Amino acid sequence: MSLKLTILGFNSAVPTAFTHPTSQLLNIAERYFLIDCGEGTQVQLRKAKAKFNRINHVFISHLHGDHVFGLIGLISTLQLLGRDMPFHIHGPKGIEEFIMTQLRLTESTCSFKIIFNELSSKKSVIVFEDDMVEVISIPLNHRVYTNGYLFREKKKARKLNIDAIAEFPEIEICDYQNLKNGKDYTLESGEIIPNNYLTFDEQKSLSYAFCSDTRYKPDIIPLIKEVDLLYHESTFLHELKELAMYTGHTTAKEAGIIAREANVKKLVIGHFSNRYHDYSVLLDEAKQEFPNTILPEILGTIKIKVNS
């Protein structure tokens, strides 16, 4: 089992010939989730050779152009590709009007259903869940209503140790679910066989937290505690801390502190101001606080494997 994050764009503000606004494609528990969708995202998806029709959910952090202006184009393309599966859009209140007004005024007919999940809570809520994965909002502190998202695999069942079970003929198939759930087994003699003798440990559940855009906000730490991968915005160096505060952003040093305090496994920083051309200065600053920090690469994929 693995978690794969493909970076489609990681810059702030305006797209240029060589930089792309925020968008990421997350593959977790065999689901493909699109996170944010700045202008040009559909072209980046093509370059990443993504299968458009495997993307059923998009999660928008906030309604600023560099995170959402590519969404209408993507929807339009899905229509031209003949999509018929529903398409789920999770994002701040207002996103339905934002998209539906554009569809109405361009006289677009949609062959598929768009299901909006508008968020307005200032508390962390479950945004989406199915049998394998859950997505939880991370309330952030930007200039407009903004959420990050925590994606995590649900706790997996323990795997049966068939050889060990075979030693106890009185254990029947109908008992297996209890064993997978972690229960000990009591023999007719009254002897208790500990669950960890009859099963293997469950596979670790992987998790990814996306946090952009936000001021330094340490109260998210309990929510993102020990995630396998954290993406945290680092728009400025700490020497521009006041500008970061004023514009609703975080410094590289602060992103590193968040990662360290949350005891995450790995930090990837992004959403860099266009003033920086050499991102290594941002990387170095974050690493001072949290050594296992990396820079994103355009169309690069970060893979997190169980036990990696």
| Closest distance to a second copy from the beta carbon of 266 (Å) | 29
Q: Rounded CA gap, 135 and 209, in Å?
A: 9
Confirm whether residue 271 is marked as ligand binding.
Answer: yes
Of the residues 66, 175, 278, 284, only one is catalytic, namely 66
**Residue 64 marked ligand-binding:** yes
Q: CB-based contacts of 13: which residues, under 8 Å, 6+ apart? A: 21, 66, 273, 274
Note whether 120 and 145 are within 8 A (CB): yes
Whole-angstrom CA distances from 89 to 45, 54, 93, 224, 253 are 17, 14, 11, 23, 33
Does residue 92 contact residue 118 with C-beta atoms inside 8 Å? yes
CB of 10 to a second copy, least distance (A): 16
Q: How far is the CB of 101 from a second copy (least distance, A)?
A: 5
Tell whether 142 is in a known binding site.
Answer: yes
Q: Which is nearer to a second copy, 68 or 150 (by Cβ)?
A: 68
DSSP letter for 53, please: G
- 3-state SS, 182-229, equals CCCEECCCCCEECHHHHEECCCCCCEEEEECCCCCCHHHHHHHCCCCE
Kindly state the smallest distance separating residue 296's Cβ from a second copy, in Å: 19
Contact assessment for residue 288 and residue 269, using Cβ atoms and an 8 Å cutoff: no
Known catalytic membership, residue 66: yes
> How many angstroms separate the most distant Cα atoms in the chain?
75
213 marked as part of a ligand binding site:
yes
Q: Is 90 annotated as a binding residue?
A: no
Q: Burial letters for 244-255: b for 16+ Cβ neighbours within 10 Å, e otherwise?
A: beebbbbbbbbb
Q: Which is nearer to a second copy, 73 or 156 (CB)?
A: 73
Cα–Cα distance, 258 to 176 (Å, whole number): 42
- Closest to a second copy by CB, 1 vs 110, is 110
**67 assigned to a ligand binding site:** yes
Please identify, using beta-carbon distances, which residue of 54 and 303 lies nearer to a second copy: 54
Question: In this complex, which beta carbon is closest to a second copy, that of residue 81 or of residue 192?
Answer: 81
CB of 102 to a second copy, least distance (A): 7
Task: Please classify residue 286 by burial: count the beta carbons closer than 10 Å to its beta carbon, then call 0-12 exposed, 13-18 middle and 19+ buried.
Answer: buried
Residues lying near a second copy in the complex (CB under 8 A): 13-17, 39-40, 42-43, 46-47, 63-66, 68-70, 72-73, 76-77, 80, 94-95, 97-98, 101-102, 105-108, 143-144
Do residues 39 and 65 touch, judged by C-beta distance below 8 A?
Answer: yes
Task: Pick out the residues of the known binding site.
Answer: 62, 64, 66-67, 142, 213, 271
Task: Pick out the residues of the known binding site for Zn(2+).
Answer: 62, 64, 66-67, 142, 213, 271
Report the catalytic residues.
66
